[in-house]
Every structure is written in structure tokens, then in C-alpha cells.
Amino acid sequence: MRLYLASTSPARRALLAQTGIEPVLVAPGVDEDAAVAAAAAALGRNLTGPELVAMLAVAKAGAVADARIAGSPVDGFVFGGDSAFEVDGVLHGKPHEPAVARERWRQMLAAGGGTLWSGHCVVDRRADRPADPAADRTGGTGRAGTVPPVRQVDPSDGGPLGPAGHLGAVAPGGSTLVAAGDRVVAVDSAVLTFADDVSVDEIDAYVATGEPLEVAGAFTIDGRAAAYITRIDGAPSAVVGLSLPVLRSMLLRGFGIAWHDLWSM
């Protein structure tokens, strides 16, 4: 079973590879700033964290699902993801510039932490996919504290955001999953706590490595910043770039596909 990753993120690819999945990487070519601006204009307000990451995940997955790869149509599942870090009600994406990264770190440390929002979208583009997309959806509530079941929704009821419009109300540290036609969309989140004794010199040294400049929130937990994070409430993989437990549930509950069906043998 082939999984196409609508991203060129080394972290997401490495995360999947560690679990035995070798995805096909495809750059989605989505203008994220323009997509967010258009959505905010249509809504007449700023997007919430869950709305933003879900909307961009849908846009990225959709762009690759409808593309031709090496002259052939996609045959398998397409995953798109996006992340944003929220501190005191303000969403932070990639800082790009050292000065911005340093200021982000000062704000995060002053607040003590924040919430990492991780958006997911899986589109079914199997050549032999069932005519009824809902046929393989198994639901299942699981134990308290585990990934919730997939809810069936009408994409036309999501307003300007489409399926992502059903994912705006997620509590920090929680997750939610919805199915709309040939796709399942989800948001997972993790609440992070930072060490309370990180110095200005440590911030400057970290920013000087360049690591935080092109990652949401200006930090990674699979790199040098791991030593500054004292607690994670939620799936650690969500902070890296995609929530493995949520992706597993999307495939199993949304399409009847077991996680090991995607393993590279």
C-alpha cells in the first residue's frame, strides 16, 4: 500500500520511516500565506489554530491527490499535514529570521509553554477504492484518553473551510477526526511546558544554529531544543510534524486500513 507525503519535510519523512513506512515525497506547491489570507477574508475573522492547520493540511493533500507523479495518477493514500504553535492566544508559524525566532522564544518562556496544533488530511486515491467511501469506516470509541472516533460530516456544511470547518473547537491537548467523502481530516494537539531557567545566552546559542528558523514555533523536540522542554501532554510525534496515533486511526477507522499494511517489506 503506497503512502504519498504531500510535503518535503525531512522530519515527517524520518518519522514515518522510523515506523517502517517509506512514503513517496511530493511537494504540494501550496501558497500557505495566500490560502490563510483568503480563508480569513471569507470568514471575516482570523482562523483558530485547529482551523488553520486543518485547512492547510486539506489544501496540501488535495493538491497532490489530483496531481500526476512521473506521468501517472496517484495510486494509494495521500497525507497532508501542517503545524502551528499557539502562545497566549497568538499563533506562530515558521519564524524564518533569527530576530523573530529570538523574540518567539522570549514570549514562549515568559508564558511557560503553549499548544502545538497539528493538522492532518488523508485522501483515498487507490485505483481500486470502494465506490462507497463510508463502507470501511469502523468508528469505535476506545478507552478514555485515546484517539476519538471518526465523525461523518457533510463537507458543504463546513463553510469556506470545507471539511476543516468542522474542526475549529478542539481543546488544547485533545484531538478530533471527521470524514467527508474520500478524505478524513483530523487535528491533534500537544501542550508543551518549557524549562523556567533558560537564559538569554542559551536562546542566542540555539537560534545561531539555524535549527528553529524553518519550523513551526521556532523549536523541534527531535533536535537541540529537546533539552529545554520539560513536559509534553499529548503525542510527542504531533510536535515533530504528524501524530502517528491519529494517522493510524484515520487509516483504520476511516478506510479500514491497518497500520502494518503500509509497512515497507
pLDDT in tens, 187-207: 999 999 999 999 999 999 999
Global confidence as pTM: 0.92
CA-nearest of 13, 5, 9, 121 to 57 is 121
Among 38, 12, 37, 35, residue whose Cα is nearest residue 24: 12
Residue 149 pLDDT > 70: yes
Examine the pLDDT at 130 and tell me if it is beyond 80. Answer: no
Q: What is the model's pLDDT at position 101?
A: 96
Predicted pLDDT of residue 85: 94
**Residue located via cell numbers 502494518:** 260
pLDDT of residue 133: 65
Determine which helix (DSSP H) or strand (DSSP E) holds 43, and give its type and residue range: helix 32-43
Q: Which of 66, 82, 204, 222 is catalytic?
A: 82
The tens digit of pLDDT for each residue in 15-24 reads 999 999 999 9
pLDDT greater than 60 at residue 141:
no
Q: How far apart are CA 265 and CA 260, in angstroms?
A: 10
pLDDT value for 56: 96
Q: What is the percent of the chain where pLDDT is above 90?
A: 78
Confidence at residue 72, expressed as pLDDT on a 0 to 100 scale: 92
Mean pLDDT of 152-156: 84
Average pLDDT of the chain?
Answer: 92
User: Does the annotation count 82 as an active-site position?
Assistant: yes
What's the pLDDT at 144? 55
Max CA separation in the chain (angstroms): 59
What confidence score (pLDDT) does residue 148 get? Answer: 85
